[in-house]
């Protein structure tokens, strides 16, 4: 359920230009010009001057807290201080939803002056958080603002604030020539002993940008920078040892390097060190130690750490189990766009863990994760579309998302596709997807595929393989069906001993129908030595659990005195239970008992009623006896026409 990505990430969190531009318009329209200017500066300097960007983001947060305090508390705060305002419990209690407070707290921590090693990355993450806080603040400050803004014909904002520099939002997409140019300059500086240049040159060789990829050369430059205590270089060198790139894989050395980098506040190193402790790589598994490092990385905005920390709180591994804390961390990462966290948050909503069950919210988060190609999210979203929970039921959408997940090898999605196609009478589609799922180890898919071959495609010889695979994995329904194939000999060689073997396996898992079928074999001595006591035991086990066939057979043993003292009363008791379930043979048998007064009062009217029930199900002997009652006028008004009709009907079956 959680990700463990340890590659150096090149992509960054980018706030869309139009969103920021629109927010600045709204703030200016609310006469919050300084707030708008600080927000624009925070975006403008994200890449080029991340330290200034962090400062401006902090000023945005400070201003929002100040204005929100005046709004909620109806007075001005004594101090315009982030720490003071966020420590005011009465004020903080008014900040809803809770995620906004969590984002504010993250921004507060991440904008405290640091070593500068991760400022560029932090600035981009903080800007993303700030944008969410600003949107919340605008709606809170003036809920009528959005509506009023939409009817305006134009705005003078472009004249008040200079246009955003679009280039700063896309500087990650550099042409190859730029990388080659950078490599030349980095090499000059690196040879002069500049640690930052040595690290960056290592990155270019590591990823093959501007130079031919060469892990050994990358390691050389990382080592030179690491010797100067460059945190990024220590981390990247640890990754090489972790993955065994250009050097023998060595988890212990990776851990040592991650620790050195983590101690210098590198969030990625803190996260990866947590992963090693979490998975027991190069060290014993230690969830508490993993949680410690995840917390440090999470506080710097590392979304993978936030997600994994949420997972630890969900399971109570290394930390006390706390679903509310799990949700808080999942939400932090989800809001920053982490697909795994979005999936996990959706999962918490769908299960109602630590939060009220909410299928609509679950669908929203699954959808966000699915749009990032998260396979499990695609499957869960398909399930919600299929059932109509949290969104309108839509089979077409369900099929679309099931297929996306299925094509990526999600076996439950493959199985569900088979179910959908089978429900639409599309045997070809059902066969295709169940076959894929079964071949990938989905037990129930193999069982359903076997039933499809037997009941619809009339290919029992193909069913044998799939039933056997599922049966050998302990699936009781498959064991039962496999026994049926061997006992009937349809499409395969008749083999009662094999039927006995698989039905016994199914009865070990309390399979009622297998218990009944085993009773039949013991009664008739097929595949086993005839044993009426064992037959009665099997029938009784199934009968007491409501199996109509077993109830009838048990009653029949007492009626005929087979393996037990004849007892019509006991026979009538069990046969009567089968009658209530519509069992035709039981209806006929009980009618016979009423006709002769065996175990029940002699009652031709009751007998006629029971004969009719069985006769309507095509029971030949019941049709004949009902005809005779009409002929003799016993239990019914004498009626030769009805007598003739039923007697003829009984003879038709003979032909």
33-56 confidence digits (pLDDT tens): 889 999 988 888 877 788 888 889
538-589 confidence digits (pLDDT tens): 999 999 999 999 999 999 999 999 999 999 999 999 999 999 999 999 999 9
User: In which region does residue 284 sit, left (phi positive, over 0), alpha (psi from -120 to 50) or beta (all else)?
Assistant: beta
Cis status, amide bond into 97, omega within 30 of 0: yes
> Is position 49 within any domain?
yes
> Is position 508 within any domain?
no
Final residue belonging to a domain, choices 104, 134, 169: 169
Give the tokens for residue 397. 């959408």
Mean pLDDT of 17-43: 84
What are the distances in angstroms from CA 565 to CA 524, 560, 561, 569? 19, 9, 5, 12
584-599 confidence digits (pLDDT tens): 999 999 999 999 999 9
Q: Is 498 exposed, middle or buried (0-12, 13-18, 19+ CB in 10 A)?
A: middle
Q: Report CA 528 to chain centroid distance, whole Å.
A: 46
pLDDT over 50 at 166, yes or no:
no
Distance CA 599, CA 543 (A): 19
Final residue belonging to a domain, choices 169, 198, 229: 169
What domain count does the chain have?
2
Distance CA 3, CA 278 (A): 12
Distance CA 571, CA 165 (A): 91
Q: Is 446 exposed, middle or buried (0-12, 13-18, 19+ CB in 10 A)?
A: buried
What CATH number is associated with residue 610?
Answer: 1.25.40.10
Confidence band (pLDDT; 50, 70, 90) for 100? confident
> Is position 163 within any domain?
yes
Rounded-to-10 torsion of CA 288, 291, 295, 298: 170
Q: Is the dihedral of CA 342, 348, 351, 357 positive or negative?
A: negative
Give the tokens for residue 157. 């904002």
> Is position 291 within any domain?
no
Distance CA 5, CA 344 (A): 16
Mean pLDDT estimate for the chain = 87
Q: Is 40 helix (H, G, I), strand (E, B) or coil?
A: helix
Distance CA 628, CA 651 (A): 13
> Is position 612 within any domain?
yes
pLDDT over 50 at 253, yes or no:
yes
> Is position 181 within any domain?
no
> Is position 224 within any domain?
no
> Is position 293 within any domain?
no
pTM of the model: 0.68
Q: Is the dihedral of CA 394, 396, 402, 408 positive or negative?
A: negative
Give the range of the structural domain holding residue 50, as residue numbers without chain letter.
17-169
User: In sequence order, what DSSP letters do the residues of 133-182 get, joined into one string?
Assistant: HHHHHHHHH-TTHHHHHHT-S--SHHHHSPPP-GGGGSTT---HHHHHHH
Mean pLDDT of 595-610: 95
> 516-541 burial by CB neighbour count: b if 16+ within 10 A, else e?
bbbbbbbbeeebbeeeeebbbebbbb
Final residue belonging to a domain, choices 154, 169, 184: 169
């Amino acid at each position: 359920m959680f990700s463990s990505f340890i590659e150096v990430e090149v992509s960054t969190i980018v706030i869309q230009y139009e969103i920021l531009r629109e927010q600045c318009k709204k703030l200016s329209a609310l006469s919050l010009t300084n707030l708008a200017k600080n927000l624009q500066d925070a975006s403008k300097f994200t890449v080029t001057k991340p330290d200034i960007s962090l400062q401006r983001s902090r000023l945005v947060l400070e201003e929002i807290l100040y204005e929100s305090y005046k709004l909620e508390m109806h007075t001005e705060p004594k101090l315009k201080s982030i720490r003071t305002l966020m420590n005011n419990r009465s004020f903080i209690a008014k900040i809803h939803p809770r995620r906004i407070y969590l984002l504010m707290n993250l921004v507060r921590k991440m904008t405290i002056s640091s070593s500068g090693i991760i400022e560029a990355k932090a600035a981009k993450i903080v800007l993303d958080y700030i944008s969410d806080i600003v949107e919340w603040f605008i709606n809170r400050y003036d809920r009528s603002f959005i509506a009023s803004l939409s009817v305006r014909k134009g705005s003078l904002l472009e004249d008040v604030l200079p246009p955003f520099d679009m280039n700063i939002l896309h500087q990650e997409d550099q042409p190859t020539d730029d990388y080659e140019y950078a490599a030349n300059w980095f090499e000059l500086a690196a040879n002069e002993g500049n640690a930052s240049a040595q690290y960056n040159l290592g990155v270019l060789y590591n990823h093959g940008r501007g130079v031919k990829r060469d892990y050994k050369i990358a390691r050389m430059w990382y080592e030179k920078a690491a010797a100067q205590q460059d945190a990024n270089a220590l981390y990247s060198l640890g990754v090489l040892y972790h993955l065994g790139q250009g050097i023998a894989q060595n988890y212990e050395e990776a851990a040592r390097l991650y620790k050195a980098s983590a101690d210098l506040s590198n969030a990625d190193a803190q996260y990866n060190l947590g992963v090693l402790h979490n998975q027991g790589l190069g060290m014993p598994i230690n969830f508490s130690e993993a949680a410690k490092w995840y917390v440090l990385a999470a506080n710097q905005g590392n979304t993978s750490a936030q997600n994994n920390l949420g997972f630890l709180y969900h399971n109570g591994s290394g930390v006390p189990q706390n679903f509310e804390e799990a949700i808080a961390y999942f939400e932090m990462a989800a809001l920053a766009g982490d697909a795994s966290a979005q999936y996990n948050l959706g999962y918490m909503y769908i299960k109602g863990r630590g939060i009220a069950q909410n299928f609509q919210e679950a669908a929203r988060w699954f959808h966000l994760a699915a749009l990032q190609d998260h396979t499990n999210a695609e499957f869960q979203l398909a399930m919600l579309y299929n059932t109509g929970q949290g969104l309108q039921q839509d089979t077409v959408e369900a099929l679309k998302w099931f297929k996306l997940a299925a094509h990526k090898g999600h076996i439950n999605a493959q199985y569900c596709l088979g179910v959908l196609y089978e429900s639409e009478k599309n045997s070809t589609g059902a066969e295709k997807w169940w076959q894929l799922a079964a071949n990938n180890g989905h037990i129930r898919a193999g069982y359903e595929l076997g039933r499809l071959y037997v009941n619809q495609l009339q290919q029992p010889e193909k069913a044998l393989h799939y039933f056997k695979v599922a049966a050998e994995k302990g699936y009781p329904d498959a064991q039962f069906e496999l026994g049926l194939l061997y006992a009937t000999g349809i499409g395969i060689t008749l083999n009662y001993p094999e039927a006995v073997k698989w039905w016994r396996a199914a009865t070990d898992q309390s399979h009622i129908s297998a218990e009944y079928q085993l009773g039949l074999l013991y009664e008739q001595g097929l595949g086993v030595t005839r044993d009426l006591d064992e037959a009665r035991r099997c029938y009784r086990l199934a009968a007491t659990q409501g199996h109509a066939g077993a109830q009838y057979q048990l009653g029949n043993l007492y009626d005929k005195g087979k393996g037990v003292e004849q007892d019509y009363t006991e026979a009538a008791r069990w046969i009567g239970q089968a009658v209530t379930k519509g069992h035709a043979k039981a209806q006929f048998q009980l009618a016979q008992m009423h006709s002769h007064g065996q175990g029940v009062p002699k009652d031709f009217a009751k007998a006629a009623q029971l004969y009719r029930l069985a006769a309507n199900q095509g029971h030949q002997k019941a049709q004949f006896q009902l005809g005779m009652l009409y002929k003799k006028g016993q239990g019914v008004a004498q009626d030769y026409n009805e007598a003739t009709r039923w007697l003829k009907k009984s003879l038709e079956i003979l032909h």
